[in-house]
């Protein structure tokens, strides 16, 4: 995390353009205060960057002396020494020994994008080394998250001597005891929160271990696995493994997978993560990996992708296999080396994603009807027959629409069930869920501040909901009171050009931990606002100088933002959003992705 002086510059109390309550109920404030603006000026003078880029950099905590390195991050300079992570040396030694001896290795991964990419990264090294291996991804519904005894016994029967759990395993103590009893050594490469005790395994690499002082707890699992692959490759090179007529793999060619898993798992894009994604996007754009090329074609992603494409177009298609189809499809696609098979798998995942969207829409409609729009600080919606594979997405949609922490629970016949929660900044639902487990209100549960998974016992939902309402009332009230949109600056429609986009992109890639710049188009006349697609709004605006620009607002047509914008057609409005690059037919155009708007007040 070099060059980060602070997570984000403080917001000033005065509202931007006098917007104290936007159409989404937020106050707009300038991200930089007077001190921040002075830092931006100094940055412009010393390093020759544009005023707008300097403003964005300071707003993301980039120190004055760190600008050159920040604008040109490299894997070489930022890659951590793998052995700084606790147990990494033991993990690398055991995997290298399996490679040298030709042991059968089973990779047990999670069913999400981070799990699929983690599995594919490790499998790529084993394949290059000629090591017998297989990837096992559990079924989300019938097996659940993490290693399970039936799968472990099946892998043992196949002759597995080394089990490597990726993106899971940190809390699978009992199951991994079974693996050891069956004669398997176990290595865990994970990044999830740890339990009170760790499994008794050969090596457990997880930067969130209490005894890990590496400082790399912001890595996705695929980042941990990549560091493990670097360490294993180094051991093999030192022992002359690659000099015996074998071609040493190009590890940098794996960065497209690392970038995809990092973005999809919404970990902070700081330090080495930022370099992973920046270099990985470039590798992705070269379209050398058959599976990703086929999936990009199916998702109609053209040119060099950005984090939006990975997080909202590519990632959901890989996830669709784990949500409502065959869980292993994503990992199979990412390791596929046959072009026709890759196209077949990509089309199947694309089809499953459409089906997932339909299931999600139907479940969301039921969920919205299942809870009353009350003053409760938390939304808890439940229903029988809901597909467990989409409840996390439904919880996210409920959170977006209500602005409150939201849980969606798929009930079984006895009133219990499985659920998922999503939160808002400032409200830690992960700790609330763990406390509910401790109090006996949940059969299982875990997660982090912004997302959690739960298993509700028979008839236990009302008690859990009451617990949440009591525990979260104060933090939700405080979070809603501080609901502020941080604005990086104001632009005119005529400024939305590829040159500006390219300049600001130097501060990217943007995502969690490195927020996308938010700009306001002030006092622009709303020429049109029409619904397109599935609930999106397409707009056209005109500035005072006569320049015009297009904008898109996703999933807002039936929300207050969309309803009011249609009513304001022909009137001046303030529009807040992010720049969006559209490439088509060899031409690049810059549009505006709208996230908020405000009516123009007389005071402004």
Computed over every residue of the chain, the mean pLDDT equals: 92
How confident is the model at residue 9, as a pLDDT?
A: 44
d(CA 278, CA 295): 20
- Number of residues written out for the chain: 604
Q: By C-alpha distance, which of 317, 260, 289, 286 is closest to 509? A: 260
Domain 78-350 class in CATH: alpha beta
pTM above 0.95, yes or no: no
CATH fold of 16-31+485-599, please? OB fold (Dihydrolipoamide Acetyltransferase, E2P) (2.40.50)
Specify the CATH architecture of the domain 371-481. Roll (3.10)
Q: Is a pLDDT exceeding 50 seen at residue 5?
A: no
Is the per-residue pLDDT at 6 higher than 70? no
- Which residue ranges make up each domain of the chain? 16-31+485-599, 78-350, 371-481
For residues 32-61, give the mean pLDDT. Answer: 96
pLDDT class of 515 with cuts at 50, 70, 90: very high
Least confident of 119-123, 206-210, 213-217, 423-427: 423-427
What are the pLDDT digits (tens) for 328-342? 999 999 999 999 999
Q: Report pLDDT for 585.
A: 67
Non-local (6+) Cβ contacts of 301 within 8 A are: 309, 313, 314
Whole-angstrom distance, CA of residue 565 vs CA of residue 567: 5
pLDDT band at 115 (very low <50, low <70, confident <90, very high): very high
Quote the strand ranges of 427-496, DSSP E.
444-447, 451-456, 484-487, 489-490
Task: Tell me the C-alpha distance between 346 and 339, whole Å.
Answer: 10
Task: Kindly report the backbone phi and psi dihedral angles of residue 454, in degrees, each rounded to the nearest multiple of 5, phi listed first.
Answer: -140, 155
Which of the residue ranges 277-286, 289-298, 303-312, 501-510 would you say has the lowest mean pLDDT? Answer: 303-312
Q: Where are the alpha helices (DSSP H) in 182-336?
A: 221-238, 255-264, 271-285, 290-298, 307-309, 315-324, 329-334
199-211 as b/e, with b when 16 or more CB fall inside 10 Å? bebbbbbbbbbee
Give the tens place of pLDDT for each residue, 343-362: 999 999 999 999 999 999 99
pLDDT band at 602 (very low <50, low <70, confident <90, very high): low
**pLDDT tens-place string over residues 86-105:** 999 999 999 999 999 999 99
pLDDT at 68: 95
Question: 8-22, 179-193, 261-275, 386-400 — which is least confidently predicted?
Answer: 8-22
Average pLDDT over residues 239-267: 93
């Amino acid at each position: 995390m070099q060059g980060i002086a602070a997570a984000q510059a403080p917001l000033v109390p005065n509202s931007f353009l006098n917007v104290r309550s936007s159409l989404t109920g937020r106050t707009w404030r300038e991200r930089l205060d007077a001190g921040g603006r002075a830092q931006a000026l100094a940055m412009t003078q010393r390093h020759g960057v544009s005023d707008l880029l300097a403003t964005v950099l300071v707003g993301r905590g980039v120190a004055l002396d760190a600008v050159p390195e920040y604008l040109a991050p490299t894997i070489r300079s930022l890659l951590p020494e793998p052995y700084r992570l606790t147990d990494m040396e033991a993990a690398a030694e055991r995997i290298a020994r399996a490679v040298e001896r030709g042991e059968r290795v089973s990779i047990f991964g999670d069913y999400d994008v981070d799990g699929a990419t983690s599995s594919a990264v490790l499998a790529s090294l084993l394949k290059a080394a000629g090591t017998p291996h297989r990837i096992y991804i559990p079924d989300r519904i019938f097996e659940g998250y993490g290693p399970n005894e039936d799968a472990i016994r099946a892998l043992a029967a196949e002759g597995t001597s080394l089990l490597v759990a990726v993106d899971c395993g940190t809390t699978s103590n009992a199951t991994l005891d079974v693996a050891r009893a069956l004669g398997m050594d176990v290595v865990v490469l994970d990044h999830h929160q740890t339990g009170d005790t760790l499994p008794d395994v050969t090596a457990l690499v997880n930067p969130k271990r209490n005894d890990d002082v590496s400082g790399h707890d912001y890595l996705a699992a695929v980042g941990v696995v990549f560091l493990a692959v670097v360490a294993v490759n180094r051991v093999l090179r030192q022992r002359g493994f690659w000099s015996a007529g074998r071609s040493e793999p190009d590890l940098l060619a794996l960065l497209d997978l690392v970038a995809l898993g990092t973005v999809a798992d919404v970990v902070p894009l700081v330090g080495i993560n930022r370099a992973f994604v920046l270099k990985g996007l470039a590798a992705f754009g070269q379209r050398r990996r058959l599976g990703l090329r086929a999936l990009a074609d199916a998702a109609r992603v053209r040119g060099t992708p950005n984090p939006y494409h990975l997080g909202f177009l590519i990632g959901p298609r890989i996830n669709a296999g784990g949500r409502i189809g065959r869980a292993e499809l994503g990992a199979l696609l990412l390791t596929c080396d046959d072009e026709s098979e890759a196209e077949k798998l990509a089309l199947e995942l694309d089809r499953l994603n459409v089906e997932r969207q339909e299931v999600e829409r139907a479940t969301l409609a039921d969920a919205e009807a299942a809870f009353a729009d009350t003053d409760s600080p938390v939304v808890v919606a439940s229903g029988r027959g809901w597909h467990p594979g989409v409840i996390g997405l439904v919880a996210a949609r409920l959170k977006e629409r209500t602005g409150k922490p939201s849980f969606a629970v798929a009930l079984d016949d006895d009133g219990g069930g499985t659920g998922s929660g999503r939160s808002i900044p400032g409200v830690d639902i992960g700790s609330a869920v763990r406390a509910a487990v401790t109090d006996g209100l949940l059969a299982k549960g875990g997660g982090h501040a912004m997302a959690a998974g739960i298993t509700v016992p028979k008839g236990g939902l009302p008690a859990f909901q009451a617990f949440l309402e009591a525990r979260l009332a104060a933090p939700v009230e405080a979070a809603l009171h501080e609901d502020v949109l941080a604005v990086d600056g104001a632009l005119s429609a005529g400024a939305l050009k590829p040159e500006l986009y390219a300049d600001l992109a130097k501060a990217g890639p943007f995502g969690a931990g490195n927020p996308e710049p938010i700009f306001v188009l002030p006092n622009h006349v709303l020429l049109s606002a029409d619904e397109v697609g599935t609930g999106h709004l397409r707009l056209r605006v005109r500035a005072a100088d006569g320049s015009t620009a297009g904008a898109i607002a996703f999933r807002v047509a039936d929300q207050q933002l969309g309803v009011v914008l249609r009513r304001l057609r022909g009137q001046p409005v303030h529009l807040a959003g992010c720049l969006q690059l559209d490439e088509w037919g060899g031409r690049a155009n810059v549009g505006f992705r709208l996230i908020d708007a405000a009516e123009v007040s007389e005071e402004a």
